[in-house]
Amino acid sequence: MTETAVARHRELGLTDSEYERIVDKLGREPNALELAVFSLVWSEHCAYKHSKKLLRSLPTEGRHLLMGPGENAGAVDVGDGLAIAFKVESHNHPSAVEPFQGAATGVGGILRDVFAVGARPIAVLDSLRFGELSSARSRFLLDGAVAGIGHYGNSIGVATVGGEVYFEGPYEHNCLVNAMCLGLAPHDRLIRSAAAGVGNLVVLLGARTGRDGIGGASVLASAELDAEDDSKRPTVQIGDPFEEKRVLECCLELLDKEVLVSLQDLGAAGLSSSASEMASGGDVGVDLDVSLVPRREEGMEPFEVMISESQERMLCVIEPERMVQLEEICARWEVRASAIGEVTDSRCLRVLDDGELVGDMPVEALVDECPLYDLAPEPPREPVYAAPPRVLDSSDPREVLLALMDSANLSSRRPLFEQYDPVVGSRTVRGPQQADAAVLKLEDDGGTGAIAVSIDGNGRRVACDPYWGAVEAVLECAANLACVGAEPLGLTNCLNFGNPEKPQVAWQLTEAVRGLGDACRALEVPVVGGNVSLYNESGGGPIYPTPVVGMVGKLPDAARTAPAGFAREGDTIAFCGEFTPVPAGSELAKLQGEALPTQLAPRDLAKTWLAHEAVRDAVRAGWLSSAHDVAEGGLLVAIAESCVAGGLGATVDPWPDSDQLHWLFGECPGGGFVVSGSREAIERLAERTPLTLFGTVGGDSLRAADPALFEVSLAELNEASGSLAAAFP
């Protein structure tokens, strides 16, 4: 191996052993184009080489499943011949470098994943993590990312119906921007990406190709960020939502008229990854001529065309006789269409430049024989994360409640959601902060009932205990669906972790995947697909391990979804579920400056699931005026949130006279619910699940039966929940 070759492959992120493997597969040293293609297709972002073996342990079968892992998005049956396709993906490293375009193109990419399987995108959710709100850098990244999400979703006309955001020190240098999309399709419009039919044409649709995004999969998504981040700014893609809207409508019409054999999004690694994956899926070869690719910039080299990650592009396969029809449809939508290659029987990805062969790579070597690594997990012997600063000394429940409501992780998200359009498309029944899950009706699309969707994850609790923290993420998502009467149909995930080559991170990842799998099996919810984002760390150490879970469910009657807020004076308030509050690892523990514990309380998944089913059935029956899961901040925060959301106070009785902080502010996400309804309805619910009568809705404050013990007005609660508004006036 020459010294020049060593320098080349290492600069592209390939190890010496990987380079030697490439040489062995090719039977020669790769040229510059081939090396660039291998470096991207074999990158962590594209190949999942440190996680694929783990992901195989997740349950992927279910009675509602139509399309599982391996496609651009998964899909589940929602009845009446309709399918919901959905997926969540990360755009973390680009957003840390250029937050507006990083977040915007993250939304664009997840939209393409969904319409690549034939589904019309109908909703977007986002899951965001930044450093502490007191950090100027974090506020800059948050402001840019939220603006980017709003810009792309609002411009293309897809509703942003929910999401979450947390602020923690370990995300200071590595923010997380995860985007989830849902799409709706008739069963017969679903399409797979595998290329087929020797002699069929490979056609590039959409935007011209430029140098933006070059190296993104290997430079940004598969390596740790460092002090030279600014130099990586050119690798961040540039989005155009109006171009994507035309491509979207064009692709759906092509599918409706059965013009396409297969369809694939051009995302990470551009043509290199898309063409090789299509060929692998169909057990065929593909020839591409880069001279036929429309370009935005002069003088682009063939390797640049192959690895460009320019946005708003799709790759499709069609029969040659359908090309005229495709061009007519594309012209109507003003979408550029260029035949750039053909399907072959070579089982190779061959790259030509004006007919001259410039690259020849076996598809099997590129995709199927990418090296997969076994992790070497070891639990940490000492704390990985520093204890947060102590900012709360009081043990008075009133002062603690106001401090929690004012904390960045619990304050109102209204300043963020107001930048998004949650109702475009006219399907939204429950949007941001109206209920624990977003609800979208199906009636106008020929369906019955509605779907619900939620996205959840708590990195600090996973950092405490990767197994049980991941279980809690699944349980909380399912609890959110239960609050609106929805049965879970499928789950997608985005696994955001540090460097998997480090034993402690490998242990976090291994345990979290084990927890996700066990929770999904207990709830009988299949994993339909997802994304892995690794190497999220810098000189300051790894992020909190953050598995983000998105879950889709079905409910029979959108009119009976329960809001999160109290809705009727005089209603009885009850707590139900399997709730064993633990202060360790809670939001209160953070404010008190406590170090993270090394484990969380085990959960009885069978009993928890019975409580979920009881609440879900009660909502569907119309018994409950409100339903809200008890999560971050604990029981009293959940009650306060229901007061604020409904504009009604509450009297809580009995009030504990011992160990108040443990009982009121300990956490057990996904395990319990605060519900309200008539006394008769609550008693009917008590026949299904453990339940404690807790108080009554009414008045203009949240108080104990003896106000001398505790009382805080609704005005004070509203004011306290405004820390985000104060940071972004």
**Could you tell me which of 379, 636, 706, 621 has the C-alpha nearest to residue 511?**
379
For residue 253, pLDDT beyond 90? yes
Q: What is the pTM of this model?
A: 0.94
Q: What is the pLDDT of residues 667-725, one digit of tens each?
A: 999 999 999 999 999 999 999 998 999 899 999 999 999 888 899 999 999 999 887 88
Q: What is the pLDDT of residues 273-284, one digit of tens each?
A: 999 999 999 999
Q: What is the mean pLDDT of residues 637-666?
A: 90
Determine which one of 9, 50, 64, 91 is catalytic.
Answer: 91
Task: Give the residues across from 529 on adjacent strands.
Answer: 492
In single-letter form, the type of residue at position 544 comes to Y
What is the per-residue pLDDT for 3? 57
∠ Cα 672 643 472 (to 5°): 25
Q: Are strands 487-496 and 527-533 parallel, antiparallel or unpaired?
A: parallel
**DSSP H or E segment with residue 553:** strand 546-555
Task: Give the residues across from 74 on adjacent strands.
Answer: 86
The token pair at 149 is 């999400």
Secondary structure of 119-133 in HEC code, one letter for each residue: CEEEEEEEEEEECCC
What is the DSSP code (8-state) at residue 694? E
Q: What is the mean pLDDT of residues 555-572?
A: 96
What is the DSSP code (8-state) at residue 707? T
What is the per-residue pLDDT for 632? 95
Percent of the chain with pLDDT over 70: 96
Determine which one of 45, 93, 151, 173 is catalytic.
Answer: 45
The token pair at 494 is 């985005």
By CB atoms closer than 10 A (0-12, 13-18, 19+), residue 660 is: middle
What is the DSSP code (8-state) at residue 567? -
Q: Assess whether 91 carries a catalytic annotation.
A: yes
Contact partners, residue 8, CB within 8 Å, separation at least 6: 32, 35
Q: What is the pLDDT of residues 3-27, one digit of tens each?
A: 555 678 888 889 999 999 999 999 9
Q: Assess whether 662 carries a catalytic annotation.
A: no
What is the per-residue pLDDT for 291? 97
Domains of the chain: 1-51+192-372 (3.90.650.10)
- Taking the C-alpha atoms of residue 589 and residue 260, their distance in angstroms, rounded to an integer, is 56
Give the SS3 label for residue 492.
strand
Q: What is the pLDDT of residues 269-316, one digit of tens each?
A: 899 999 999 999 999 999 999 999 999 999 999 999 999 999 999 999
- Taking the C-alpha atoms of residue 652 and residue 636, their distance in angstroms, rounded to an integer, is 10
Q: What is the pLDDT of residues 357-416, one digit of tens each?
A: 999 999 999 999 999 999 999 999 999 999 999 999 999 999 999 999 999 999 999 999
Q: What is the pLDDT of residues 71-97, one digit of tens each?
A: 999 999 999 999 999 999 999 998 999
**Could you tell me which of 416, 440, 433 has the C-alpha nearest to residue 122?**
440
